[in-house]
A and B are shown apart, each in its own frame.
Chain A
Amino acid sequence: MAVFERAFQKRELHDPGIVRMVFSNTYLAPLWALVRLYLGYQWLIAGSHKVWGDTRWIALPGPDGLALKGFWERAVAVPAKGHPAISYDWYRSFLTFMLDNGWYHWFAWVIALGEVAVGIMLIVGVFTGFAALAGATMNFNFMLAGSASINPVLFIIAILVMFSWKVSGWVGLDRWLLPALGTPWEPGSALHGLRTKRGPEGRGGVTSSYTPPA
């Protein structure tokens, strides 16, 4: 047991300076804003095609989600020759279950509005980390369904934006929201209702001069 105690004793491993410089320092916030804007813009365009125009997925004269149904049907098909679009059987079973239960009717709304929401959140810089996580989740599912397109690139960018969640929204609403709302492990000033002065390590690393309105 001693070997386990020694190997897994409580100790925090710190990131090297270059990692903190890239992912946690406001010096590079303009760069992350540009990255975030590109990502949000791509999501907004993708979402706009699904909620607006002749080829939209939702709010159609007939039943919604038929485009998504077609996508799922192509994805779960196993060709006689060659490789199927989906590599994992559990994911094919998952999509087949949703197909059989007609979930595409409402799931089309989730995807379409989700893409638009992620795009807006990333452009505005509000809850950037969560928006990037939601985007990465959609990218991940599209890739599991066999659709590559620009998903691998957007997925990598989303992961980087998630790593830099503290500063990627610095040029955005997160600059005010994160200090005001705080983090799950340290409530912000809006929840405390207190005017506090914070040091450079305050609020999970998010530093700000924000204080709530008097």
Chain B
Amino acid sequence: MERLTALALGIIAWVAVGVLAVLIVFNLGDKNQVLMFLPIAAAVVAAWGIGEVVTERVFNAPDEGV
């Protein structure tokens, strides 16, 4: 159950990145591409962090590491 939750959380984090990117670009246009790029990049970093801290930790338990 823990593994399934961790996997779902990792996937949901990245799906949220896609949703956020679409919302930003479609609603704010492209007047200032730098300002619009920053929150998307921040969301990517956050999703990566969730993957590293939650998903990777669960799936890379010491007894089953690479």
Taking Cβ atoms with an 8 Å cutoff, the residues of A that contact B are 33-34, 37-38, 40-41, 44-45, 48, 52-53, 116, 119-120, 123-126, 171-173, 175-176, 195, 197-200, 207-211, 213-214
Contacts and interface: CB of A to CB of B under 8 A. Distances in A.
Contacts of A209: 56, 59-60, 64-66
Given A37-B41, A195-B64, A213-B4, A176 B55 contact: yes
Contacts of B56: 209
B25 A48 contact: yes
Interface of B: 3-4, 7, 10-11, 14-15, 17-18, 21-22, 25-26, 29-30, 33, 36-37, 40-41, 44, 48, 51, 55-56, 59-60, 64-66
Contacts of B22: 44, 116, 120
A175 B36 CA distance: 25
B2 to A, nearest CB: 9
Contact of B7 (A52, A53, A176): A176
